[in-house]
Amino acid sequence: MTDKPSHLPERLALLADLNAAQYLTEGLLSGKEDVPAIALNKTTEPLPHDGESRAELAPVRDLIDDAMYKFREDRPTSADAWLAPRLHAALRLSRREAADRRIWNYLALGVAPDYVVWRHLPAKSEGEQPKIAVRRFRGPAYTQAFARLWWAAELFRDGPDYRPVVSMCASQDMLNTALRVDVMDHRPTAQATVRLMERGTVRTGREVNALVAAINASAATLMYEAVAPDAERDGRPLREWIEAAESAPAVPRRDLPVGPFEERTPERSVGVLVDHFAELFAEAPVRGRPDADERDGAET
């Protein structure tokens, strides 16, 4: 199996798509080769905040090591809900910084290719050599191994509270589907979606996919920002949280970390959308659900 890089510098870095591509070999994608760490690090660029403590590599690598150890006896998917909020708190990025694919390329190839293989290598199947999709190393934010976790934490945290992130990431269908739709950038929408999961209104993967599809389709005719307004966002708490990285302790392993002290999502707005989304879901076609089968029979 792909091993931890033999050379880890002190600082995180940026790795351009073109430079990342040369290391995405068949051997790496099948988990049989290591990344040539020294050569890779010669092709990187420093982070814009390279002089700050949040650019240190060791705390991020230690966190990933702990995730792999903690879930060594479980399915690797179990690590997502634990790692997402802690990765977000360890990196302390702004959205602009997180939108730069180069940092995620570096995390996947220069810091923890062994994690990407451990987490995303498919199970063996007859006649086929299991291989990781390239997009897990270098890809869009909703599929790249580390970007997907960071953005899940960013979009689904409730101000400083990461508990909704844990609920969201506990469902692979939610994690794989919700990040693809822009409507989840509206905080009351994201929180209402999680609330329906926590209440048990939606349980299965098919139900999650049907709910997200219905929410996204309804957004074309109903402006959620109008019926469920969010609180005014002030950038100061985020800036202060990022600046506090210089003196912050290590990200806790047992307890959840605390995010930026932004104002929480208005409860009234969440409640309005919970009721609306529950109605949408009741009418949504869910394959295998008895009422959906009856409707399909009536239409044929």
Q: How confident is the model at residue 291 (pLDDT cuts 50, 70, 90)?
A: low
Average pLDDT over residues 251-255: 97
pLDDT at 126: 65
- pLDDT of residue 295 exceeding 70, the answer is no
Radius of gyration of the chain (CA): 20
- The residue-averaged pLDDT of 109-131 equals 90
Q: Let me know if 144 is exposed, middle or buried by CB neighbors in 10 A (0-12, 13-18, 19+).
A: buried
Residue 98 has pLDDT above 70, yes or no: yes
Q: What per-residue string of b and e applies to 273-285 under the rule 16 or more CB within 10 Å gives b? A: bbebbbebbeebe
Confidence at residue 128, expressed as pLDDT on a 0 to 100 scale: 78
- CA separation, residue 136 to residues 70, 76, 291 (Å): 21, 14, 37
Asked whether residue 290 carries a pLDDT value surpassing 80, the answer given is no
Model pLDDT, residue 258: 98
Question: Is a pLDDT exceeding 80 seen at residue 296?
Answer: no
pLDDT of 44 strictly over 70: yes
Summarize the confidence of residues 44-52 as an average pLDDT: 97
| Average pLDDT of span 133-141 | 98
Residue 287, pLDDT score = 79
pLDDT at 162 over 80: yes
* Residue in the block written with tokens 């930026």: 260
**CA separation (Å) from 22 to 40, 187, 190?**
9, 38, 37
Q: Over the chain, what is the mean pLDDT?
A: 94
pLDDT band at 19; cut points 50, 70, 90: very high
* C-alpha closest to that of 37 among 54, 1, 13: 13
The per-residue pLDDT for 299 is: 39
**What does residue 57 show for φ and ψ, rounded to 5 degrees?**
-80, -40
The rounded distance, in Å, linking the Cα atoms of 111 and 90 is 14
* pTM score above 0.85: yes
